[in-house]
């Protein structure tokens, strides 16, 4: 059961980390109306918060805390491919389709990304449209641009999307 919750303030909003006794199960940006301060941490949330803090302060580009996310076989394939995109790089939805041997599943890949519950660790912000545009992002393109710029992808800073 996911009984542990810890918050982190970042330059682009508050992140909530939810964990069980053994793994982080959700990482997401709090919506403006969701300003809960309830926190009950454990060693997993504390490790995740520390590593996410290091990510936002340019001290970390990979994560070592345990994660667990449920989904269909297809979603798991997509999330594994997305999680393998190196820090500072981007791939298109089509690239992900080719990688998972399902090149025509571009829209389904977008939907799988939309259901990703492990923000930043499964870096769906690194997936862009084939034409080089941002594509979508559950938390808005301003946050997507920020995360890409944080990782050195400056081509999207100040670009209208």
Whether residue 16 lies in the annotated active site: no
Using only C-alpha atoms, the chain has a radius of gyration, in whole angstroms, of 15
Pair 51, 96: CB distance under 8 Å: no
Helix (H) or strand (E) holding 27: strand 24-29
Active-site hit among 124, 128, 147, 150: 124
> Rounded distance, CA 108 to CA 96, Å?
11
11 strand-pairing partners: none
Q: What is the residue whose two structure tokens read 């938390």?
A: 139
Exposure of 100 in the CB half-sphere (CA atoms within 13 A):
25
Active site residues: 124
């Amino acid at each position: 059961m996911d009984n542990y919750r810890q918050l982190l303030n970042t330059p682009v909003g508050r992140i909530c980390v939810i964990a069980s006794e053994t793994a982080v199960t959700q990482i997401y940006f709090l919506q403006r109306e969701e300003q809960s301060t309830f926190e009950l941490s454990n060693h997993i949330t504390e490790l995740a918060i520390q590593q996410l803090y290091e990510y936002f302060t340019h001290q970390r580009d990979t994560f070592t805390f345990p994660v667990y996310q449920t989904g269909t076989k297809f979603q798991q394939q997509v999330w594994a491919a997305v999680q393998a995109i190196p820090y500072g790089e981007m791939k298109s939805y089509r690239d992900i389709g080719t990688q998972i041997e399902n090149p025509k599943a571009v829209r389904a890949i977008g939907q799988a990304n939309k259901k990703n519950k492990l923000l930043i660790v499964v870096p769906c912000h690194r997936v862009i449209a084939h034409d080089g545009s941002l594509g979508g992002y559950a938390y808005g393109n301003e946050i997507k641009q920020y995360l890409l710029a944080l990782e050195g992808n400056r081509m999207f800073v100040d670009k209208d999307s």
